[in-house]
Amino acid sequence: MSIIEAKDVKKWFGDFQALKGISMEIQEGEVLVVCGPSGSGKSTFIRCINRLEQHQEGSIIVDGIELTNDIKNIEAIRSEVGMVFQSFNLFPHLTVLQNITLAPIWVRKKSKSDSEVKAMELLERVGIPEQAHKFPGQLSGGQQQRVAIARALAMEPKIMLFDEPTSALDPEMIKEVLDVMKELAKSGMTMIVVTHEMGFAKEVADRVMLFDDGLMVEENTPNEFFDNPKNDRTKLFLSQIL
């Protein structure tokens, strides 16, 4: 059974149509990489999946719940879908540990001590347990992004969305974040990753999609996508990026 099902999703920002009818399905445990030029609607699409943006036409069904304006549904879906942002968006007034335990304590209503144990496990998993009591401002970009991944994982989500997680990072830091994401993919997490890291796509993705001008122009397995693309637009995109 597919865990996310989007049918003919359309979205306008004023007069500008950002999504011109996207349909896709993703199975549990699948890793999907979405790429495309800027302004192609790829970020908008994954932000629609946890309702940070509202789509105006079509339907999105996440884990059997359709996204509507019902706040209860939105909150239910958001606690099942973790999201990692391009600009980290950690809470600067809370320590790393508090950043991670905030949602489990207040949204999942877990006890503080349990959440802290879990948070330390997650920090161990992303490789920075020694930074637990620092503030986000004292960490490097790569460390901040890893904390952001740990924060999303603390909710024990079924799906993880990554919105260009490495675009704001220095080249040396990209690797440490990608390593964490690879490990996550291997553990069987369902992931949708918007990225330009083609190496990551080749190595980890089950499927790769190319967005252009609000439409999905190609959907393929990584090998086919890179070696034998069907669409001319894909060829052009790959020639520019590789």
Partner 1 sequence: MMNIDLKKQTRVIKENLFSSPVSTLLTFLTSYIMISFFRGMFGFATAPDKDWLSVLNNMQLYMVQAYPESDFIRIWICVGLGFIFSGLSVGLWETGEKTSLSKLCLTFSKIIFGIIFLTLIAPTTSVIVSTATGIREQVDVFSYAERIPLLSILLGLLVVFFLLSKINLNFNKSFLVSIYLFVPIVFLWLMKIPTIKLDAENQRVFPDPLMPIANSTKIPWTLIWMSFVAAYLIGIYFKNKKQFKTAVSISWVLLPLLIFSWIFKKPLIDLNELIRNDIPVFIGFLLVGVLTIYFINNKIVEKFYGYYLGLLVIVTLASLFLKVILLVKAGLLLLLLFSVIIPAVSTSAKGKRSLTIVWIVSLTTTAFLLEGGTSTTQIVVPGSSIFGGFSLTWLLAIFGTYVSFPLGVLLALGRNSSLPIIKGVCTGIIELVRSVPYITWLFFASVTMAVFLPDGVEFNLIVRVLIVTAFFSGAYFAENIRGGLQSIPKGQFEAADAIGMNTVQKTSLIVLPQALRAIVPTLVSSIITGFKDSSLVTIIGLFDFLTIGRMVIGNQSIPINFIGHDRENLLFIALVYWIFTFTLSRRSMKFEKRLGLGER
Nearest residue (CB) to partner 1, 34 versus 147:
147
Residues that bind partner 1 (CB under 8 A): 50-52, 71, 75, 78-79, 81-83, 85, 87, 89-95, 102-103, 106-107, 109, 135-137, 151-152, 155
Nearest residue (CB) to partner 1, 42 versus 207:
42
Question: In whole angstroms, what is the distance from residue 189 CA to residue 98 CA?
Answer: 24
How many angstroms separate the Cα of 4 from the Cα of each of 50, 71, 77, 92, 100? 11, 19, 11, 32, 26
Q: Which residue, chain included where needed, has tokens 């949204």?
A: 107
- Kindly report the backbone phi and psi dihedral angles of residue 156, in degrees, each rounded to the nearest multiple of 5, phi listed first: 50, 60
Question: In whole angstroms, what is the distance from residue 180 CA to residue 129 CA?
Answer: 14
Angle between helices 112-126 and 141-153 (to 10 degrees): 130
Nearest residue (CB) to partner 1, 112 versus 230:
112
Least Cβ distance, residue 154 to partner 1 (angstroms): 8
Nearest residue (CB) to partner 1, 107 versus 236:
107
Nearest residue (CB) to partner 1, 76 versus 120:
76
Task: Return the closest-CA partner of residue 40 out of 215, 176, 208, 199.
Answer: 215
Nearest residue (CB) to partner 1, 85 versus 237:
85
Least Cβ distance, residue 184 to partner 1 (angstroms): 17
Question: In whole angstroms, what is the distance from residue 108 CA to residue 155 CA?
Answer: 8
Least Cβ distance, residue 81 to partner 1 (angstroms): 8
Residues 126 and 149 sit within 8 Å (Cβ to Cβ): yes
Question: In whole angstroms, what is the distance from residue 119 CA to residue 125 CA?
Answer: 10
Least Cβ distance, residue 46 to partner 1 (angstroms): 11
